[in-house]
Amino acid sequence: MKFSLFNESKSREVIDLFKIVFSASEGEEEGQVVADFVSNLIATTAPQDLIGCIAEENEIVVGCIFFSRLTVPSGQVAFILSPVAVLTDVQSTGIGQKLIKYGLDHLKSLDINLAFTYGDPSYYSKTGFEQINESIVKAPCHLSQPIGWLAQSLDGQVIQPMVGSTQCVEALNDPGLW
């Protein structure tokens, strides 16, 4: 298994991966929604605000994750993980967790202070994410499932309560995704 950073030469393969994986797990409509989101994320996010990571087996992309910049009122540097997909045939073999750890290590190497995500706490707790109340850090959009608002510190400092709103990148600033 080879882990590396995403670059635009992989865009088509990665968009197709998200479409196939989410169509299989959530239905075709959701597969298209996520594929459109990823396509938009790649097309509209400034390079310094987007970090993608891919897992490849025999030159085929079998997993992909994206982190995009989340502007927080404390002035710390923060990124949010979304979305995440591992090819259906090879799910539950550890690729998702290894890919997320690879990505978090890369974020740490860039001196990024905080990582957020929005998803199943039981899955993302395996890679260090913990539930965070919006009284500590607000989400950039209304959360349909506040239980899924998760964060972790990457610099060893405890996450302090922040006053003010947060801002995600344009592609993620869609209430339907939250």
Ligand X SMILES: CC(C)(COP(=O)(O)OP(=O)(O)OC[C@H]1O[C@@H](n2cnc3c(N)ncnc32)[C@H](O)[C@@H]1OP(=O)(O)O)[C@@H](O)C(=O)NCCC(=O)NCCS
Q: Smaller CB distance to ligand X: residue 83 or 103? A: 83
Please report whether residue 119 would count as binding ligand X according to CB under 6 A.
yes
Pick the piece of the chain touching ligand X (CB under 6 A) from 84-92, 131-139, 151-159, 163-171: 84-92
Rounded least distance, CB 45 to ligand X, Å: 17
Burial (0-12, 13-18, 19+ Cβ within 10 Å), 28? exposed
Please report whether residue 97 would count as binding ligand X according to CB under 6 A.
yes
Q: What is the spatial distance between Cα 10 and Cα 25, in angstroms, rounded to a whole number?
A: 23
Please report whether residue 64 would count as binding ligand X according to CB under 6 A.
no
Pick the piece of the chain touching ligand X (CB under 6 A) from 82-90, 133-141, 147-155, 157-165: 82-90
Please report whether residue 22 would count as binding ligand X according to CB under 6 A.
yes
**Taking a C-beta distance cutoff of 8 angstroms, is the pair 167, 71 a contact?**
yes
- Contacts to ligand X from residues 38-57, by CB under 6 A: none
Sorted by sequence, the CB contacts under 8 Å of residue 155 that are 6+ apart come out as: 108, 111, 113
Among 7, 25, 125, 165, binds ligand X (CB under 6 A): 25
Q: Which two tokens stand for residue 121?
A: 């706490």
Chain position carrying tokens 């079998």: 62
Rounded least distance, CB 94 to ligand X, Å: 4
R_g over Cα of the chain:
15
Rounded least distance, CB 74 to ligand X, Å: 26
Please report whether residue 86 would count as binding ligand X according to CB under 6 A.
yes
Please report whether residue 122 would count as binding ligand X according to CB under 6 A.
yes
Q: Smaller CB distance to ligand X: residue 19 or 69? A: 19
Q: What is the spatial distance between Cα 70 and Cα 116, in angstroms, rounded to a whole number?
A: 8
Burial state string for 137-169 with b = 16 or more CB within 10 A and e = fewer than 16: bbbbbeeeeeebbbbbebeeeebeebeeebebb
Binding site for ligand X (CB under 6 A): 21-22, 25, 83-86, 91-97, 119-120, 122-123
